[in-house]
Chain A
Amino acid sequence: MALAFDEFGRPFILIKQQDEKSRLRGLDAQKANISAGKAVSRILRTSLGPKGMDKMLQSPDGDVVITNDGATILEQMDVDNQIAKLMVELSRSQDYEIGDGTTGVVVLAGALLEQAEQLLERGIHPIRIAEGYEMASRIAFEHLDRIAQKFEFEVSNIEPLVQTCMTTLNSKMVNRCKRSLAEIAVKAVLSVADLERKDVNLDLIKVEGKVGGKLEDTELVYGITVDKDMSHPQMPKRIEDAKIAILTCPFEPPKPKTKHKVDIDTVEKFQTLRLQEQKYFDDMVQKCKDVGATLVICQWGFDDEANHLLMHRNLPAVRWVGGVELELIAIATGGRIVPRFQELTPEKLGKAGVVREKSFGTTKDRMLYIEHCANSRAVTIFIRGGNKMMIEETKRSVHDALCVARNLIRNNSIVYGGGSAEVSCSIAVEAAADRYPGVEQYAIRAFADALDFVPMALAENSGLQPIETLSAVKSQQIKENNPYCGIDCNDVGTTDMREQNVFETLIGKQQQILLATQVVKMILKIDDVISPSDF
């Protein structure tokens, strides 16, 4: 890839270790990038929509993941190409921001890139294309606001929300239990939602999974689950109004950090030491008892003797609880983590309504449930399933359902799905294009064409004739002036998405268009790629 040669044929060296790098410039660079971006979107294209196909991904360790969640596919795909990584980032940011529509955003970006390629062929400067796209995205954004509608629901009547979540779950593998999962998701969101501020903190919803049992056993826990059991098999399995001492010191004899030796040279010393040791254990347990704790959660292990003493004094205890979980428990129960027995005071105890140990099925697994915690409304969705693959997929599906419910609570503006919003935007952008003088006009038209790609992919995945269906829907929209006509993916018999009850959140859709445009602009602006040549 030498750039210039002197008269002896030796290249000038401009970049450090130039000969080890490969370089692409100008139109070649843009085309290479576009083709990489398109390759990624082509992979996801068939996963779009309720009839979208799944992808089977085999991880470096040989585990199998089957999913049609765009963000997950891209995450697991282990891409190497820089532009492809940008697309992965794109879908991830949609995931973080909205949680849904991760496939759609990549497909849209791919379509935009494909259109841009044609424009480049015709000699339009990439910057002009980028600007045209920007204008078009603004038109589409505003148009979405116009066609948006309000979605009505109340806390007392969660049925509409459940229906919505069920729509989301319909395309997933877990549709066997969509009803119960949707209910769990809606209840979880409502219990952490701040309806006045219209805010939902999804961090308060922990989604946990454990292999074993079946999908139907999945439940919503109003509190925290810890994958531990009581230290002694015969401690009480259920504690009401628990006062929890959260300790980071072990129930073991003291171990001063300085090195020391205790020499035993007489029988008396031996005996005093023995008594001291007994007293020490006794004191430890007594201190916990004195401050009124009814449950001890400890980061470290217990000595057998201490364990029995605890059991004997009717003080249930949990040992070997991880640091992170310990913190979570402390936050949720309003307790303080206590590093020494001497520092235990009643105020430092955490409080929880019920702490119970639950055992599962025929397997020996036990989990600890800490429910009705003093401080927070944290909830845990506890997923059960036959294998890891199922649990992971359920986690993802529940996550999507949670996001949908959250988005509706945050902002109950919706647009109708099935590609109707895209078609409507496409018509609006197309119409607006003629008003723009200059080269951008072409880019804006290309944008409108790219928007058509999404319904086209939907139709294709549903086994319909893509072009035929799209043109029918488009003409219907214009003829009836009805922006809610979309692709009839489920073969219901009507193209009106209001009747089919298929809708997406307005912010989700707007975000899709903005993010896709942004990334495409970024890719178009790259005209030189220097990378270490990998041979």
Chain B
Amino acid sequence: MKKNETEAPVMKQHMGLKASAAISNTIIYVILVIMSIIWLIPFVCIVLQSFRVESTYIVDYVVPHKWGLDNYVKLFHSNFTRWYINTFIIALVVAVVQTVIVLCMSYTLSRFRFKLRKGLMQFMLILGMFPGMLAMIILYRVLDDMGMTGSNSLPGLILVYVASSGMGYYVSKGFFDTIPKSLDEAARVDGATRAQILYKIILPLAKPIVIYTILTAFMGPWGDFVFARYVSQLKPLGMNVAVGLQSWLATDTMTHDNYTLFCAGGVVVAVPVAILFMCLQRYYVEGVTGGAVKG
């Protein structure tokens, strides 16, 4: 009897807590769903417009009256294929080279102690605060002298994207710092060289940060407009997808003729990135939080 008397208020309190938790969860989920819908609207609109075949200009409705793949067929019979390949080559090369540079830089700054190490890190921090655009004119002059502009902009753009790679070491260095140094020391005693330690011990443990570095290195050139526009000087052979697609909407007349084609291009550009993100999403989130919180 006594037991029931004490149990009842505890049960009531427990039920109350459970109910309030359910209400707050519901509110959170409703807000999240609304936000997701708002963020998805432009993308859904572009996808729908890309299948519209009754007209090529901007219209005031979202769902096409007539559906078809005409825009996609047209897309691959235009310069778009060239731009797509250009962008893919640039992004791939940059992803590989930049990842190698960033990881080596991060490992060096995390593990080695040398004179001016701190000075170098501070210098890079300050340098990173200046917008890259400031260097655009001089970069163009240099690249132009080297013959890497206009139609031949591919190597020029790769050079520009890769040049400042080393400065993106912060997140991965933070992650490397959380890996105990005694692992390096144990490996050194075991007979491993520095390169073997990085390759066999550190990188397998830093998988999330490696994925994160690859993704960010790939994403930068894939979506870049400003540098690509400037270096390619709108020469069709030297453009990437962002510049190419924008060139289709350069004037009102062009927008009138190319809007749905532009939407189809936008969808095709988004596909590989979306697939990449979906596959590597888990590592990407782990990489960002792992490095930031622990470092």
| Bound pair (A, B) | no
- Which residues of B come within 8 Å of A, CB atoms? none
